[in-house]
Amino acid sequence: MTVETDRSRAEAAGATEGVGALPASRLARIPVLGRITRWNRWARLVALMGVAGPGLVAANAGNDAAGIATYASAGSQYVYGTLFFMVLVTVALVLVQEMAVRLGAFTGKGLGALIREQFSLRATGLALGCLLLANTGLVVSEFAGIGAGFELLGVPKWAIIPPAALLLWGLVLFGSYRYAERIFLVMSLVFFAYPIAMIMGKPNWGTVGKNLAIPHLSGDKDFILLAVALIGTTVSPYMQFYAASGVVDRGTRTIDYPLIRADAIIGAVFACCISLTIIIATATTIGGTGPLNSAADAAKALEPVAGQSAELLFALGLIGASALAGAVVPLSASYAIGEAAGVERSVSRSFRDAPFFLTLFTAQIALGAVVAMTPIDVIQLLIGTQVLQGLITPVVLVYLLILTNRRSLLGEHANKRGFRIAATVVVVGVATMSTVLLVDTVLGWFGLG
């Protein structure tokens, strides 16, 4: 039985009985939003914490090993010069994540299934091909990030990557979606290391505020390259696939949408605030020294903590972030391809019930771990992967925008005029930057750049 069938039956039952007709025991377990108006502020906060899930996990997964390397490199290369650009990227992420969870909440289907149903086979192949291309490099980078983090602690990567891969694999294979999601949320706590580092670095808050409010953009190739990488790591395609599928896998009802929407928005803002603190922390300590060349260089971004504590803090952040994304990235591809193929896909299912879904997840974990143990330049791999993500992101965003614009699919929950205009501006802006970078790169191959 598919996830969609289970959910549609549950929705049908709810529609037939009516919320008011439900037994008190069942009614108590349903987060009816009308009740929230009678709760005090603390109760509302508890409700938001209880619904925290796909949106927060997906957004935080974007602050992975590649994201940390990219944000740190932005601070070391341009000091505070990318802060205003990151504000724009934050707005983009909020819009994109909200569209993704809305699709999942009101259709009961993931992005992969919707693309298969609403577009041609060729268009579906293009979307999934882009996702797989981007995710392959990302899975490798996540395990490389785990290895790099432990190497800062004196543990060789060959001794830690295999057991880390087994732990992440077991978490998904032998757990339920709810259990895995809670573990992912606990992993997110590691990101608080970066605001601490930023504060202890004692940045010039006046300069920080000025760069956050006043545009500071450049047309040179290096800035565009970094800007596309920042977009790629912040608005990653896999995040949209995971967010929509996660909403479905946790069994979300349409009545839960306002809380799911809040989860997506809060998650996006929180993740981008962490990104800003990484940039500020790096800019304060090694700003203006140029691009990063190693994990050790990135560790210096946390020197305000003093001595070896800086490397420890960076290592913990790198390990935790990489572990979170090391599970979420392959899950997003497994969800998308499983949805497009029309087979069972759920973390809550056993290997017997969902063999294709879990085999695909297993293969990605194995590939990422094996390649990550080879001699590779970790920082260049991480940043390069984000540039690739930035080039592919506009393709996925076009599908997402078209789907959420369709009233035939979402009815009254389709994008309203103002939202549609804002989302279109985001997609066009991202596509324009990616195209400029692509054209410049191709011209460079022929000595014309």
| DSSP output for 209-257 | HHHHHS-----SHHHHHHHHHHHHHHS-HHHHHHHHHHHHHTT--GGGH
Give the pLDDT of residue 53. 59
Give the pLDDT of residue 401. 94
Give the pLDDT of residue 259. 86
Mark out the alpha helices in 287-377 (DSSP H runs).
295-299, 308-341, 355-372
Q: At residue 26, does pLDDT exceed 60?
A: no
User: Which among 152-156, 228-232, 406-410, 438-442 has the top mean pLDDT?
Assistant: 406-410
User: Which among 12-16, 42-46, 204-208 has the top mean pLDDT?
Assistant: 204-208
Give the pLDDT of residue 100. 93
Angle, CA 136 vertex, CA 134 and CA 141 arms, to 5°: 95
Structure tokens at 13: 């039952």
Give the pLDDT of residue 221. 76
Q: pTM, whole model, 2 decimals?
A: 0.77
Tell me the three-class secondary structure of 421-433, residue by residue.
Answer: HHHHHHHHHHHHH
Task: Give the tens place of pLDDT for each residue, 172-230.
Answer: 887 666 676 677 767 667 777 778 778 877 888 999 999 999 888 777 778 888 888 88
Q: Are 437 and 391 in contact (CB under 8 A)?
A: yes
Nearest to 163 by CA among 369, 351, 347, 364: 369
Structure tokens at 236: 């990653």
Give the pLDDT of residue 335. 87
Structure tokens at 322: 């990489």
CB atoms within 10 A of CB 319: 23
**Average pLDDT score over residue span 342-368:** 85
Q: Are 85 and 71 in contact (CB under 8 A)?
A: no
Domains of the chain: 54-444 (1.20.1740.10)
Task: Give the tens place of pLDDT for each residue, 72-122.
Answer: 889 989 999 999 999 999 999 999 999 999 999 999 998 999 999 999 888
Q: At residue 23, does pLDDT exceed 50?
A: no
Nearest to 148 by CA among 139, 157, 160: 157
Task: Give the tens place of pLDDT for each residue, 241-279.
Answer: 888 888 888 777 788 888 888 888 988 898 899 899 989
Q: Are 263 and 51 in contact (CB under 8 A)?
A: yes
**Average pLDDT score over residue span 120-147:** 84
Consecutive H or E run containing 95: helix 83-107
Using CA atoms, how far residue 423 sits from 11, 194, 266, 350, 433, in Å, is: 29, 30, 18, 38, 16
